Amino acid sequence: MNAEADFNTPGILLRRVEYGDNDLILNVITPDRGKMVLMAKAAKRSRRRFGGVLDLFAILDLSCRGSRRGRMTLLAEASLCESLNSLRTEVAKTAYASYWVELVHFWGEEGQPQPDLYALLYDVLMALDRDRLPARVLSLLFQLHFMNLAGLGPRLSACVGCRCPIGGLGDLQFGLDAARGGVICQRCDPKPRLTVSRGALKELAWIAAGGLARAQRMRFSSEALCAGEEMMESFIPFHLGREVRSLKFLRHLRESGALA
């Protein structure tokens, strides 16, 4: 029988589904083992082993039983590193965190180490909980970096049609051509679905190239934030090739003014 050794790992809880009367199936992302599915037996009864910490978005220390071939890995114990409680109690934060976590859940294969993706999600969830940056800036940062890690980052510095650098195109407005993977100038697409100025594109390029510390030192225009949201929230589902369910909730809150 091939059995893997027991192991401990940090992990972020992406999804929890009840299984039978007492068990939970958990989807987590870890730094070194990537995404994993864990079975937490009797999770709903055992406060000793799980201490009531198996909440969505929580950052946990996980003690796992090595899996036997073909069997789900068992979670033996879990303890809390960071609860990130506000992500479950403040509806706007819940909406953003749910969106990011859904993207991570559906992107890539289980068991492939993704330390950069883990670090990105960890950083934005922590920053959202601690109010280090406005949620919409964090969401843009997450989406742009997420797509960069996936090798699908939108091209923001030159037109995907004529290939002219945006700096050389005067005061033209730009649109997004999701299929061609980036921005397109008004000459190449006279009637784009959304338009964005060169200045706003530069701000988005800064967010895409820098980390949280850099974003904290900057002030972003509302044009860049609005256009960036619209761009990325259509660009990502297009490239994932699927509907992103949590986006509906996010948009609903935005339209009702609850994200202001």
Q: Applying CB under 5 A, which residues contact Zn ion?
A: 159, 161-162, 185, 188
Q: What is the largest CA-CA distance in the chain?
A: 67
162 or 194, CB closer to Zn ion? 162
Measured between alpha carbons, how far is residue 123 from residues 59, 84, 117 in Å?
11, 12, 10
Closer residue to Zn ion in complex, CB, 134/161: 161
Contact 4, 70 (CB under 8 A): no
Phi–psi pair at 71, nearest 5 degrees: -105, 155
Q: How far is the CB of 185 from Zn ion (least distance, A)?
A: 3
**Complex with Zn ion: residue 49 or 180, whichever CB lies closer:** 180
> What is the nearest approach in angstroms of Zn ion to the Cβ of residue 199?
18
Nearer to Zn ion, 160 or 236 (CB): 160
Q: How far apart are CA 31 and CA 115, in angstroms?
A: 4
For the chain, the first-to-last Cα distance in angstroms comes to: 56
Distance of closest approach, residue 179 Cβ to Zn ion, in angstroms: 15
Q: Helix 245-255 vs helix 222-240: angle between axes, to the nearest 10 degrees?
A: 160
DSSP class of residue 72 equals P
Q: How far is the CB of 148 from Zn ion (least distance, A)?
A: 23
CB of 204 to Zn ion, least distance (A): 17
Q: Which is nearer to Zn ion, 184 or 259 (CB)?
A: 184
